[in-house]
Chains A and B, each alone.
Chain A
Amino acid sequence: SRRHFAERVSFPGATGGSVFTEKMTFLSDYPTIPTYRVLDLDGKVIVPDQDPKLDKDECLKIYRTMISLNQMDMIMYEAQRQGRISFYMTNYGEEGTHLGTAAALTNDDVIFGQYREAGALIYRGFSIQQCMHQCYSNEKDLGKGRQMPVHYGSKELNIQTISSPLGTQIPQAAGAAYALKREGKDACVVCFFGEGAASEGDFHAALNIAATTEAPVVFFCRNNGYAISTPAREQYRGDGIASRGHGYGMHTIRVDGNDILAVYNVVKEARRIAIEEHKPVLIEALTYRQAIPFHVGHHSTSDDSSAYRPKKEVSDWMKQDAPINRFRKYIQDQQWWSDEQEQALKKQVRAEVLECFAEAEKLKKPAVSNLFTDVYDELPWNLVEQKEKLEALMKKYPSHYDASSHAKE
């Protein structure tokens, strides 16, 4: 009826149920989304009922994983500096986002990563040794030496292989989540990305699609303040990444990414919402891209970050708020950890990492024929021909095509 049209906003695009107003107001002053935390900087629980009360074994597993990750980063960073591997990216300062998330998931949950989430993979069971095999592109690398270092992946562990193009994994995560929903699985997809990648069109596509298809996916943004050299202020002008969730009609939360327990709580509840309510969730974890001690925190080994941020800013962060230190204080308060254990663990982990390093370095590269396989399920005629051509050339010019560092066919 005409009356109905006059009183209600009946436009079909007004899905949120808008009301008419005769006052012209441009929205500009939005409330800023708060940052949820459990622990203070001294590792003390601020509001007791927010403590997830993880048991001792769980906490020590998380802590050991962080120490292992740090030690691996330190050794691999140096290995790259010495030219022993071609490239590396460290995880310093973001261990909280990795471990808080990983601990809240099951191995049935599918992980789509960006490239700086190694801690989550190691927690799940991707070993330091496997990381090193990948970085060394040796014959035990599951990826057969085809991708740059730190592009990990494992079918067995439900970790989709990392790729370099930023943001591409975000809509893929929505699709995988939709598939899990169709299977009726008690599982979700967790998709990591940085605040820089959230500027890509794929981010927009993904969140919108996840919302409209009601896919059980948890979008986890690591907002560490920089995309290589670009500070957040040049990346966006809204209230970070979290503020965008509302626009997509999505459950959204912002969390202190240096607080493992806060990240754990948030991911655990997000997982429940995604699976039980069939709704995607957006999590923005605020953190800071820190550094290996004695180095300024770079984006990667190809980057010198002192060109765009003061060394003091980095060292201040590391002194004031490293996620690993906060968590260490927490477990020390529980009487689960001591300085002696700390020293012993570091020594032990360092030895283990060096052992893995030596093992990875001594192995051969994969057989050269792996250059041609897996483009398709089978080699088409053109690849058969091209493979034969290369083999003939290798035979004709053995000194140029020295394959002695590669495994035999």
Chain B
Amino acid sequence: MLSSASRNAASRLRSSVSFVKRTLASSSGSPPPAEGFMQGVATSKFIKATKEQALAHPELAAVKNSETQKMNYFTAVNDALATALATDDKAVIFGEDVGFGGVFRCTIGLAEKFGKDRVFNMPLTEQGIIGFGIGMAAVGHTPIAEIQFADYVFPAFDQIVNEAAKYRYRSGNEFNVGGLTIRMPCNAVGHGALYHSQSPEAYFAHTPGLKIVYPRSPIQAKGFLLAAIRDPNPVLVMEPKILYRSAVEQVPVDDFVLPLGKAEVVKEGKDLTVVGWGAQLYVLEHAVQEAEKRMPGLSIEVIDLRSILPWDRDAVEKSVNKTGRLLIAHEAPHTGGFGGEIAAAIQERCFLKLEAPIARVCGWDTPFPLVYEKFYVPGMIRCLDEIERVMNY
């Protein structure tokens, strides 16, 4: 299927499909991509390996009697989309190549199950895809649009920022496009270079009217995607594509949502607060383990921010008031990154409690490069080194 699709598609799409094959064609069980800085995901404590672990989470109380199923990130997205279509007749899914299942397989089987009028391909035009979605939402439907890579969302920037985000406000609430959800694969993938690696959340975080969510695992992907689809505001869902196959956990099969705007303390600690989101969480987990090994007695709290807009300032503030130190890490470039917003807000709120300057470990202020990826990303060593620096301040 991949090869027949690539024959018909435009050159950019062709390259992305072959790119996907290179990245993800390895069967489950084989090691992650060669440079694979996501090696830690399989053994991560942030992943729920058993049904009991999964259902013990208080946020899943509503489905505590549900069966669970082993899903990877893309099958969890697929499960959420199928649930959305089954529970809302007005929900439709569209984007480039979603009809045959999507270049990352997130929509596989949905057109067959729900009909081609509900899951369909769009011409290759991001501004058109989002404009079309806004129009559907404006008359009360539930469009779920896919942008093939977050790197290609920029042609739709005008539609998202000037139109979707402002639709309710500018009409005095006569109209809204709350039904609109926009999914986009983001983050580094090992060899994605400039246009298959970007993390554009900060561009959108500067736009009142939008919500932005960043699920880190299959359970989170399902719960947040369903929450986004049902939220009465336009929501961007950022899906770290390195996790599509590498993150696997037990996911409740029943319908559930997770709370937008809420961070999660994924590891408790008392000496330092570390904040991240998306795939960066697993890098931080690895760095934290290493730091606690190297500095006996050190106890680090790890927060998955999960929502970028609105973000959970209270959770970070509460943690920093306890630990007195804060480190923020994200893949996107340093300058203008969302870490800056967190740092500014926390120094304003926790000034008297801070014992060291707030640290930011981010991508460098360059485009995302190909062969230099491991030198570019805020990887384990950079995070570890910065943790040591903050602790020794």
Q: In chain A, what residue has the closest Cβ to B234?
A: A376
- A171 close to B169 (CB less than 8 A): no
Chain B residues numbered 32-90 whose CB sits less than 8 Å from any CB in chain A? 90
- Tell which of B170-178, B291-299, B323-331 binds the partner: B170-178
Give the nearest-CB partner of A373 in chain B. B173
From 126 to 155 in chain B, residues with beta carbon under 8 angstroms from any chain A beta carbon are 127-141, 143, 155
B253 interface residue, CB < 8 Å from A? no
Number of B residues, CB within 8 Å of A: 50
Evaluate contact between B132 and A144: CB separation under 8 angstroms: no
Contact of B163 with A by CB under 8 A: yes
Is the CB of B261 closer than 8 A to any CB of chain A? yes
Flag if B125 contacts A143 (CB, 8 Å): no
A160 within 8 A of B: yes
Q: Establish whether residues B170 and A154, one from each chain, have CB atoms under 8 Å apart when the complex forms.
A: no
Indicate if the CB atoms of A176 and B232 lie closer than 8 Å.
Answer: no
A144: chain B residues at CB < 8 Å are: 172-173
Chain A residue numbers with a CB within 8 Å of B163 are: 163, 165, 168, 172
Query: Interface size of A by Cβ–Cβ distance < 8 Å?
Result: 48
Q: Does B227 contact A (CB under 8 A)?
A: no
For the complex, what is the distance from the CA of A175 to the CA of B129, rounded to whole Å?
9
The reply to whether A163 and B123 form a contact with Cβ atoms under 8 Å apart is: no
CB pair B171 A153 closer than 8 Å: yes
B162 at the interface (CB under 8 A from A): yes
A178 with B136: CB separation less than 8 A: yes
B193 on the A face (CB < 8 A): no
In the complex where A175-B136, A377-B178 touch, is A142 in contact with B172 (Cβ < 8 A)? yes
Across the interface, do A172 and B131 meet the contact criterion of CB distance under 8 Å?
yes
A213 at interface by CB-CB < 8 Å: yes
Determine whether A325 belongs to the interface, using a CB cutoff of 8 Å to chain B.
no
Asked if A213 meets B120 with Cβ closer than 8 Å, knowing A110-B139, A175-B143, the reply is: yes
- In the assembled complex, B388 has its CB within 8 A of some CB on chain A: no
Contacts of B261 in A (CB 8 A): 380
Residue among B139, B141, B163, B261 with the highest chain A CB neighbour number at 10 A: B139
A201 within 8 A of B: yes
A365 CB to closest chain B CB (Å) equals 13
Binding site for B on A (CB under 8 A): 12, 110, 112, 141-144, 146-147, 151, 153-155, 160-161, 163, 165, 168, 170-180, 182, 189, 201-202, 204-206, 208-209, 212-213, 373-377, 380-382
Residues of B within 8 A of A (CB): 8, 90, 92, 117, 120, 122-123, 125, 127-141, 143, 155, 158-159, 162-163, 166-176, 178, 208-209, 211, 232-233, 261, 310, 313-314
Q: Which 7 A-B pairs have the closest CB atoms?
A: A175-B135, A171-B131, A205-B128, A172-B135, A161-B171, A175-B132, A176-B135
